[in-house]
Amino acid sequence: MIAPMDVVLKLSALLFGIGAFGFLARRNIILMFISVEIMLTAINISLAGFSQHHGNLRGQVLALFVIAIAAAEAGIGLGLLIAKNRIKSGADVSDLTKLKW
């Protein structure tokens, strides 16, 4: 059974709100990246829901691009975290300014 569109949008909005709150309330870079991943998952849920509602595959194809962007974001985040840990251990965002030349 396919979930109604309003259920899909409410779930997507709830996940996006949780991710946005997690991103704004945390100072740990790992938790911030997890929050961004939650927000991107919410976007994928809404894209798939709209795609199912309209009966075409455009939203699902766009969701695949969002997944690729999320993978690139995770790679960049891991690179930043490794570069920061070479200078000072910990995962606080305020220490990222020390990565400047």
Query: Domains (ranges, CATH) in the chain?
Result: 5-89 (1.10.287.3510)
- The more confident residue out of 40 and 101 is 40
- State the Rg of the chain over Cα: 17
The CA distance from 83 to 96, in Å, is 9
What pLDDT is stored for residue 79 in this prediction?
86
Kindly report the pTM of this predicted structure: 0.82
- The rounded distance, in Å, linking the Cα atoms of 27 and 25 is 7
Can you name the residues that pair with 28 across neighbouring β-strands?
Answer: 92
Check whether 100 has a pLDDT greater than 80: no
The H or E element spanning position 16 is helix 5-25
The rounded mean pLDDT for the chain is 87
pLDDT, tens digit, for every residue of 18-48? 999 999 998 888 888 899 999 999 999 999 9
